[in-house]
Amino acid sequence: MDRGKVFKYIEEHFEEHLRRLQELVRQPSISAENLGIRECAALIRDYFKALGCKDARLVETSGNPVVYGFYNAGAEKTVIIYMMYDTQPVDEPGWIVPPLEGRVVEMEPFGKCLIARGAINTKGELGAFLNACESITAVGEEIPLNLIFV
């Protein structure tokens, strides 16, 4: 894989990738309040479809739906990617921006940071992983493994 091409694409599409992350963290998915769960699950399913998952669906459970996706890279090996999409409530004090705003804020000593409920646990990681996968395929490279998302 030509990682240089992938990194160049990521740099050139940073704002687009940031907007996608903001879309994800702005979507409420507060499990304890059953707020926005189904909408967030559908959004993630649509991200899986956009990546090229031929099988992307919501699997009903007794609780929140599982968002399932299968990306067939035609590889010999398959890895399972598990990341939750529900978050904690947003009513605790101390937020420096509204928790569902998904604002980029200058934070010393880190520089610019995306601040939102779920940005670290784990919507941000899921969105960044999907952005990376999209970047690989966008430059004509192959994701080296089949991916099962749950």
Structure confidence by residue, pLDDT tens digits, 100-112? 999 999 999 999 9
Domain count within the chain: 1
- Whether this prediction's pTM lies above 0.85 is answered by yes
Output the pLDDT for position 122.
87
Q: How far apart are CA 145 and CA 129, in angstroms?
A: 14
- Where residue 68 sits, what CATH number does that domain have? 3.40.630.10
The answer to whether 86 touches 64, Cβ cutoff 8 Å, is yes
Which structural domain range is residue 8 located in? 3-149
Mean pLDDT score across all residues of the chain: 97
